[in-house]
Chain A
Amino acid sequence: GIQVEQSPPDLILQEGANSTLRCNFSDSVNNLQWFHQNPWGQLINLFYIPSGTKQNGRLSATTVATERYSLLYISSSQTTDSGVYFCAVKDTGRRALTFGSGTRLQVQP
């Protein structure tokens, strides 16, 4: 099945710093989503982005499907950005998303 690798696995930032999270995948995809899991376990959908670039406030994402990677940018990070960020992808052979192992982000005041 499709492989999803996220980097870095862990990231510690000072409040106000910017960061870039990366998601590499091993095959062509027709669906790619980014999620944030807060410290209480809630998963929030950040972006549905199989290709192109999207922005939502301080967050933006870019997927280059032909090169099999996606990037999540967090600008001016806040302590509430802490948690785990997951990338999930779906190829045409599956009917459900496959998740990466996540990037654990800690934003310190």
Chain B
Amino acid sequence: DGGITQSPKYLFRKEGQNVTLSCEQNLNHDAMYWYRQDPGQGLRLIYYSQIVNDFQKGDIAEGYSVSREKKESFPLTVTSAQKNPTAFYLCASSLGADSPLHFGNGTRLTVT
């Protein structure tokens, strides 16, 4: 079955540590996205990539980094510079910028 796989589902880290969230898709989509969701709120865009080896900052990119070395993969690193990293992180993909968006099941990150 085609879809978007995010791992792990839950992640716990100590403050000051970098952590990488995995996102893999087998939908053959060109565009991939990372969104952050805080409790009771909407989604905010962290980074997006329209094509391999290219990515752009979203609205809240500070403290995060990404890479897009393969079409199928778009990992997100939460660095120690991110002031409030505890959140629900959602990866998404679409055929193009104006195509329906499909989401993975998310990773809940807790930093203490």
Chain A contact residues, CB within 8 Å of chain B: 1, 30-31, 33, 35, 41-45, 48, 50, 86, 88, 90, 95-102
Using known A-B contacts A41-B88, A95-B97, A96-B97, determine if residue A101 contacts B103 with beta carbons closer than 8 Å.
no
* Across-interface contacts of B101 in A (CB, < 8 A): 33, 35, 45, 88, 97
**Complex Cα gap A26–B59 (Å):** 18
| 7 tightest A-B CB contacts, nearest first | A43-B103, A99-B42, A48-B100, A99-B43, A101-B42, A96-B48, A95-B97
Q: Which of A30, A98, A101 contacts B45 (CB 8 A)?
A: A98
Interface residues of chain B: helix, strand, loop or mixed (majority):
strand
Chain B residues near A43 (CB, 8 Å)?
90, 92, 103
CB distance from A72 to the nearest CB of B (A): 15
Interface of B with A (CB < 8 Å)?
A: 31, 33, 35, 41-45, 48, 50, 56, 58-59, 88, 90, 92, 97-103, 105-106, 108
